[in-house]
Amino acid sequence: MAFHYPNGTPYNNHEAPKSKKQVKNQKSIQFGKRGMDFEEEINKSNAFYLSRNIAVVHKKPTPVQIVKVDYPSRSAAVIKEAYFRQASTTDYNGVYNGYYLDFEAKETKNKTSFPLKNFHQHQIDHIQQCLTQNGICFVLLWFSSLNRCFFFSGEELITHWSEQENTGKKSLPLSIIERKGIEIQIGIAPRVPYLDAVWQHIQSNKGVAFNDN
């Protein structure tokens, strides 16, 4: 099924458009020896947090407008084409320990850097708006080829996004992510314990207004 942004641009979730060969070669994200989808594991982690009254975090629903439907039989309908009614912001939001959380989950097969083209200006604008209200904003970066996951703050993302025009750098080097971010060790329950990194980020910024960039 084809999805499109409001301006008609085809939608690809999480990462920049891939060739058909790349899509075929990467049907799943590898967590160790298990084929797992990164977003699915975040959803399961959120369910774990919710069941234990640790946090209430959900994936944001995105309204779509259906424009083409096939009816192979009277009792079945297949959506063939749809458009997002509005540009998406970020993947998840919720509340944790009195803090508003808003974050995006992204993945890449690159081993040395994370392409900034995986993000869109409207997402950066949204993150900035949430930071202005002292929300906790971040991205979860999954390096599928390395089996490594990182928490990277919205403040840092905006800084490097804004520097693109001056530096010409179109990606975040892994070395910077290692230094400026927080690595998340993949576990069992929850599989992606990102709230540990969120709390570390909160503690390291105590007494500092989150919208002071």
Annotated binding site for Mg(2+): 89, 91, 104, 123
pLDDT value, residue 9: 57
What pLDDT, on a 0 to 100 scale, did the predictor assign at position 166?
Answer: 82
Q: What is the pLDDT of residues 39-68, one digit of tens each?
A: 999 999 999 999 999 999 999 876 555 666
105: nearest Cα among 199, 184, 23, 6: 184
**Residue-level pLDDT at 84:** 47
pLDDT (0 to 100) of residue 11: 55
Question: Cα(154)–Cα(31) distance, rounded to whole angstroms?
Answer: 25
Sequence ranges of the binding site: 89, 91, 104, 123
User: pLDDT (tens digit, 9 = 90+) per residue, 82-141?
Assistant: 554 455 689 999 999 999 999 999 999 999 999 999 999 999 999 999 999 999 999 999
Q: Is the pTM of this model over 0.85?
A: no
Number of alpha carbons in the 13 Å side-chain half-sphere of residue 111: 2
Please tell me the predicted confidence (pLDDT) of residue 79: 67
Instruction: Decide: residue 71, CB within 10 A, 0-12 exposed, 13-18 middle, 19+ buried.
Output: exposed
Q: What pLDDT score does 65 carry?
A: 55
The CA angle 171-124-54, to the nearest 5 degrees, is: 100
Model pLDDT for residues 144-202, shown as the tens digit of each residue: 999 999 999 999 999 999 998 788 889 999 999 999 999 999 999 999 999 999 999 99
Residues 6+ apart with CB under 8 A from 27: 35
More confident residue, 74 or 126: 126
β-bridge mates for residue 172, sequence order: 114
User: pLDDT per residue over 2-29, tens digit each?
Assistant: 555 555 555 555 545 555 554 444 444 4
Tokens of 109: 């097969």
Q: How sure is the predictor about 35, in pLDDT bands with cuts at 50, 70 and 90?
A: very low
- In one-letter notation, the amino acid at residue 14 is H
Q: Are 39 and 107 in contact (CB under 8 A)?
A: no
Q: How many CB atoms lie within 10 A of CB 171?
A: 17
- Antiparallel, parallel or unpaired: β 136-143 and 76-84: unpaired
